[in-house]
Chains A and B, each alone.
Chain A
Amino acid sequence: MSRLSSELKQVFWVIAAFGALGAVTPFFDDYTQTIITRALVFAIMAMSLDILMGYTGLRSMGHGVYFAFGAYSTAILVTKVKGVGLLTLFGAGLGLSFLVAAFLGFLAIRAVGVYFLMITLSFSMVVWGLAYRWHTVTGGDNGIAGILPPPLFGISLQNPVAFFYFTLGVFLICLGLLYLLVKSPFGKTLVGIREGEARMKMLGYNTWLHKYLAFVISGTFAGISGVLWAMLNRFIAPTDVELVTSVEALLMVALGGPATLVGPAIGAAIVMFLRYWVSTFIERWYLILGATYIITILYAREGILGKVEGLLAWRKAGREAGAAIPRVQKQPEEIRT
């Protein structure tokens, strides 16, 4: 079947691209390596948000929350518990994000549109406030330093290249799992809810449950990025979990291409490079961030990947013209009699 083979081709290209990334990264300078690793960490966050935003159609401004729980739980465990292992850190980060998402989901899922955005935004504010004010646990303004990554099967991850490969591995596992998810029957129902929730209910779906599950899965995966972030930077402070973190995640998805998984990962790379390169030249880099967002919304609603896919499909249609003429779009008039 041609659809299957074109999907296999896509998977092949994605694997090839990340293989290439793995091959060339050790040859870059330290700074670039760090930015690439950071981009991968945020790519996990962006992909997890894509499940909610791109596939289910729920724009969340609260993804920084899980990032914060993942990062702070890691920071606290590493600095307070001697000899804590990676498994414990990921277990704690994921478990916490899961619980927090499971709780917040109850509050948020009933809301739609801008109300959903506002509620999730308020979660972000609360968690930032906690990080900032709850000195005894979070270190407040000073943050928590000295978050050294524990070894993986005896291999030290304190070397930047080793940590890069570790992050790449975690990223690919997440990508694989999320890819399975969006190709599953459940994944298809999320798209159905985005495109027509009323119809989905009529078809027998408990859409609340599906949205809630998407919310929890999305939040849990976002927690992973927090765990990695803390170990990568070895330092965490309230500035890392500001509202801007959630907004950046939103921008990564919008920019890269919602409902494509790989698109948001590309978006993450772009935003991270903007953040760390442009900010060395331009003081107010948030202006650039905002401008990028507006340009995306105005000129590329389907994101970069969506645009590229559109162009490819268009060229293909051009080549095949004559063999199969693409159906012209007929606009059915809305008729009420």
Chain B
Amino acid sequence: MAETQPRLELEAVSKQFGGLHAVEDVNLRLREGGRHGILGPNGAGKTTLFNLITGVLPTTSGRISLFGQDVTRWPTHKRTAMGMARTFQITSLFPKLTVLDNVLLAVQGLRRMKLMMFRPLASYKDVYEKAEKLLTDVNFWHLRDQQVRNLSHGEQRQLEVVLGLASDPKVLLLDEPSAGLATGESREMADFLNSLDKDLSILIIEHDLDVLFGVVSQITVLHYGKVLLEGPSDQVRNDQQVNEIYLGKG
């Protein structure tokens, strides 16, 4: 049964830093299984928009709803609990912990046992099995005892996404998942994203156009915090203005 309401809805969302309008009057809807891209030059306000959606920063005005609930004033962890997850543009894993510990922390994030104090974590078989499955799916199981800081950049980018998926989110926000990846690695990332559950709604910021057009069906173009254009990816790809200004393909 398809959900009727959008999973994520932004209505006239704005954010000002002093005099700077980082995000201005942005509207956006993301439905079940929706794959939505955000495009825009450096400083367009893309990451800030994610910070607003996830509650890292408070909005200046506007309304954010998740699954029909107004969450505009909610703290981050409560929004996550609704079924949202996010990855970061600048890798923000737990560098001194092992790969397995990173994933375990992600897996238990929405489970009540996270507050359990007098039973070893090692005794929670279901949590370990989930972590093992997540790591096996991306062929990382053999790396489980490595400290994350010793992984390659590409491996770290992939682990970012694994952490995002660990809580079985319904809405996933990806902030430049292929940042700094080689071309081959970017393609793998795109394939990986396409292999995810079709019901998962994804909002993705991505500068790599091959990845972006390969993954999304709908794109919003941001320009100085404002929506310049929104439409199906084909339309955006062929838009004169977008091509001239942002894609540099005149």
Any B CB within 8 A of the CB of A225:
no
Contacts known (A192-B105, A202-B86, A330-B152); A337 close to B115, Cβ less than 8 A: no
- Per-residue contact bits, chain B 140-180, to A (CB 8 Å; 1 contact, 0 not): 00000110011111001000000100110000000010011
In the complex, chain A residues whose CB is within 8 Å of the CB of B190: none
A83 close to chain B: CB less than 8 A: no
A180 touches B117 (CB 8 A): yes
Q: Are B149 and A329 in contact (CB under 8 A)?
A: yes
A316 on the interface (CB 8 Å rule)? no
Could you tell me if A195 and B76 are in contact, using CB atoms closer than 8 angstroms?
no
B56, B95, B117: which contacts A198 (Cβ < 8 A)?
B56
Question: Which residue of chain B is the closest to A195 with respect to CB atoms?
Answer: B94
Q: Does B28 reach chain A (CB closer than 8 Å)?
A: no
> What are the residues of chain B within 8 A of A185 when measuring CB–CB?
108, 113-116, 119, 121, 124, 127
Chain A residues with CB under 8 A of B94: 191-192, 195-196, 199
How far, in angstroms, from A217 to B76 measured CA to CA in the complex?
Answer: 25
Q: Is A200 located at the chain interface by the 8 A CB criterion? A: yes
How many angstroms between the C-alpha atoms of A19 and B172 in the bound complex?
53
The residue on B at minimum CB distance from A184 is B117
Q: Are B116 and A205 in contact (CB under 8 A)?
A: no
Give bound CA distance, A48 to B185, whole Å: 46
Which of B77, B92, B93, B104 is A205 in contact with, Cβ under 8 Å? B77
| Total count of chain B residues near the partner, CB < 8 A | 54
B42 partner residues in chain A, CB cutoff 8 A:
336-337
Nearest A-chain residue to B121, judged by Cβ: A185
Q: Is the CB–CB distance between A188 and B104 below 8 Å? A: yes
B128 smallest CB distance to A (angstroms): 11
1/0 per residue A172-195: CB within 8 Å of B? 000001001101111111011001
Complex contacts, A328 vs chain B, CB 8 Å = 150
Interface check B200, CB cutoff 8 A: no
Interface of A is mostly: helix
Chain A residue nearest to B115 (CB atoms) is: A186
B215: A residues at CB distance < 8 A? none
Partner among B101, B149, B153, B167 whose Cβ is within 8 Å of the Cβ of A204: B167
User: Are the CB atoms of B119 and A203 closer together than 8 Å?
Assistant: no
Q: Given A337-B176, A337-B180, decide whether A187 and B207 contact each other with a Cβ distance below 8 A.
A: no
- How does the 8 Å CB contact mask read for A303-337 relative to B, with 1 for contact and 0 for none? 00000000000000000000000011110111111
- A183-B120, A188-B105, A195-B94 as given contacts; A333 in contact with B180, CB under 8 Å: yes
A203 touches B167 (CB 8 A): yes
Q: In the bound complex, do residue A327 and residue B146 qualify as a contact, i.e. CB atoms below 8 Å apart?
A: yes
Q: Give chain A nearest CB distance to B45 CB in angstroms.
A: 15
State whether the Cβ of B73 lies closer than 8 Å to any Cβ in chain A: no
CB nearest to A180 among chain B residues = B118
Provide the A203-215 mask, 1 if CB < 8 A to any CB of B, else 0: 1111100100100
Binary contact readout A27-71 vs B (1 if CB under 8 angstroms, 0 otherwise): 000000000000000000000000000000000000000000000
Taking a contact as CB atoms closer than 8 A, the residue among B76, B101, B116 that contacts A184 in the complex is: B116
Is B247 in contact with chain A by the CB < 8 A criterion? no
**Is B85 engaged at the interface, CB distance under 8 Å to the other chain?**
yes
Contact of A201 among B77, B101, B121, B153 (CB under 8 A): B77
Known: A327-B146, A337-B180. A199 touches B92 (CB 8 A): yes
Q: Complex: how many Å from CA A305 to CA B201?
A: 47
Query: Measured between C-beta atoms, what is the minimum distance from B144 to chain A in Å?
Result: 10
- Which residues of A are in contact with B by a Cβ distance under 8 Å? 3-4, 177, 180-181, 183-189, 191-192, 195-196, 198-207, 210, 213, 217, 327-330, 332-337
Listed from nearest, the 10 A-B pairs whose CB atoms lie closest are A335-B180, A203-B109, A332-B153, A204-B109, A204-B80, A195-B94, A201-B76, A204-B110, A186-B117, A183-B120
Binding site for A on B (CB under 8 A): 42, 54, 56, 75-77, 80-81, 85-86, 88-97, 101, 104-106, 108-110, 113-122, 124, 127, 145-146, 149-153, 156, 163, 166-167, 176, 179-180, 207
* Known pairs A185-B121, A196-B93, A330-B150 / 10 extra A-B pairs, C-beta < 8 Å: A180-B119, A187-B121, A188-B101, A191-B94, A192-B97, A201-B80, A203-B105, A204-B110, A205-B109, A334-B90
